[in-house]
Amino acid sequence: MKNIDNPYKQILVTGGAGFIGSNFILYMIKKYPKIKIVNLDKLTYAGNLDNLKSIEKDPCYKFVHGDICSPSDVKRAMRGVDCVVHFAAESHVDRSISGPAIFVQTNVIGTQVLLDSARELQVKHFHHVSTDEVFGSLPLDNKNQKFSEKTPYDPRSPYSASKAASDHIVRAYAETYGLPITISNCTNNYGPYHFPEKVIPLFITNALKNKPLPIYGKGRAIRDYLFVKDHCSAIDLILSRGKAGETYCVGGDSERNTIEVADAILKILGKDKNLKTFVEDRKGHDMRYAMDHKKITRELGWKPSVSFEGGLEQTIEWFKKNEPWWQRIISGKYLDLSRAAQNRNENK
């Protein structure tokens, strides 16, 4: 992949205290020390400013506590920026099944509020981060079939439906108002700062505590896993060289079913395979996701650089070294730390 220069002076990152957003901010600050980053985050359950503690005093970084559904919060954060990278979303399928309303509010209305402000403030580039789940599910018996930019949308959960709607409204603003946008649809991310309710960090933290690893159904569901730093590099390329109005699919070339994920984690940690336990399957469980990333590889020169085994080893090592981080989340104590960090950032 060729070296690139980012063309923007000030970038607004929404949801920058979350898993992928915080990794992206850390990636950009390290690679482009002169770019200013504004982080707009509501600090819901998955937003943790402890993720960004290492840069909270950096003069090129600014935190704004606010809600993407609030026009005044959005304008306050967006004023003066020339690029928006929109991560902020409710993102857990199980939570969307038990309470879909907040997913529609945040993922659809919040995106619309951001787009309106981007139009008004004449932002040069609005990049929307989406998911492979908008495409529905692939068959288990045809490994050659993958999602691509041409795949029809077929969302099957309240979460994926809300993300599909947000994708469509972003494209509508480009067509109707001429807003310069790009969209990326990525596969399942994993890596440092991954919120412990998701499958890989849940399995890692449970295994470290010798607790059962809960596997849905028969464990046959397959996901394509993408190391989070590879995802960050893909977005960086799209910002620098992506074509306005285009969508780019970002995949990890790492399809694994849930049993294989559990076995790999237990093997690296030297834990007993009997820690695997099977639980009732998720409602409407999509059985397979896989992404064809030929377009972003061909046009922008991106491809995943980290194998699943290599990324998993890095992730496990990070969780072993940062046990206080995930223990605070599991206990709920991180909320107090995020509030304290919020005060430090907003008062600097």
Question: Measured between alpha carbons, how far is 250 from 148 in angstroms, rounded to an integer?
Answer: 9
Per-residue pLDDT at 1: 47
What CATH class is the domain 10-189+228-252+289-305+333-346? alpha beta
In one-letter notation, the amino acid at residue 343 is N
Q: Buried b / exposed e across 321-341, counting CB within 10 Å, b at 16+?
A: eeeebbebbeeeebeebbeeb
What's the per-residue H, E or C state across the chain? CCCCCCCCCEEEEECCCCHHHHHHHHHHHHHCCCCEEEEEECCCCCCCHHHHHHHCCCCCEEEEECCCCCHHHHHHHHCCCCEEEECCCCCCHHHHHHCCHHHHHHHHHHHHHHHHHHHHCCCCEEEEEEEHHHHCCCCCCCCCCCECCCCCCCCCCHHHHHHHHHHHHHHHHHHHHCCCEEEEEECEEECCCCCCCCHHHHHHHHHHCCCCEEEECCCCCEEEEEEHHHHHHHHHHHHHHCCCCCEEEECCCCEEEHHHHHHHHHHHHCCCHHHEEEECCCCCCCCECCECCHHHHHHHCCCCCCCHHHHHHHHHHHHHHCHHHHHHHHHCCHHHHHHHHHHHHHCC
pLDDT higher than 60, residue 334: no
pLDDT higher than 70, residue 323: yes
Question: Measured between alpha carbons, how far is 264 from 259 in angstroms, rounded to an integer?
Answer: 9
Residue with the bigger pLDDT between 282 and 247: it is 247
Per-residue pLDDT at 264: 98
To the nearest whole number, what is the mean pLDDT of the chain? 93
Catalogue the active-site residues.
132-133, 159
Question: Measured between alpha carbons, how far is 252 from 18 in angstroms, rounded to an integer?
Answer: 20
Report the greatest alpha carbon distance in the chain.
57
pLDDT higher than 60, residue 346: no
Please name every residue paired with 188 in a beta bridge, in sequence order, or none if there are none: 225
Quickly state the pLDDT bin for 273 (edges 50, 70, 90).
very high
Please name every residue paired with 86 in a beta bridge, in sequence order, or none if there are none: 14, 128
Closest-CA residue to 226 (of 185, 286, 263): 185
Reported as a single tens digit per residue, the pLDDT across 90-102 is 877 878 888 999 9
Per-residue pLDDT at 342: 43
Question: Measured between alpha carbons, how far is 275 from 271 in angstroms, rounded to an integer?
Answer: 8
Reported as a single tens digit per residue, the pLDDT across 186-240 is 999 999 999 998 999 999 999 999 999 999 999 999 999 999 999 999 999 999 9
How much is the pTM? Answer: 0.93
Average pLDDT over residues 132-139: 96
Question: Measured between alpha carbons, how far is 10 from 20 in angstroms, rounded to an integer?
Answer: 19
HSE-up of residue 280 (Cα within 13 Å, Cβ side) = 3
pLDDT higher than 70, residue 119: yes
Would you say the C-alpha torsion 263, 266, 269, 270 has a positive or negative sign?
A: negative
User: What residues contact residue 162 under an 8 Å CB cut-off, 6+ apart?
Assistant: 89, 90, 96, 100, 103, 104, 106, 107, 108
Quickly state the pLDDT bin for 4 (edges 50, 70, 90).
low
Per-residue pLDDT at 337: 43
Reported as a single tens digit per residue, the pLDDT across 191-203 is 999 999 899 999 9
Per-residue pLDDT at 341: 42
Per-residue pLDDT at 284: 80
Average pLDDT over residues 48-71: 97
Average pLDDT over residues 292-309: 98
Reported as a single tens digit per residue, the pLDDT across 120-133 is 999 999 999 999 99
Q: Tokens for 29?
A: 């600050």
pLDDT higher than 90, residue 45: no
Per-residue pLDDT at 60: 97
Per-residue pLDDT at 333: 57
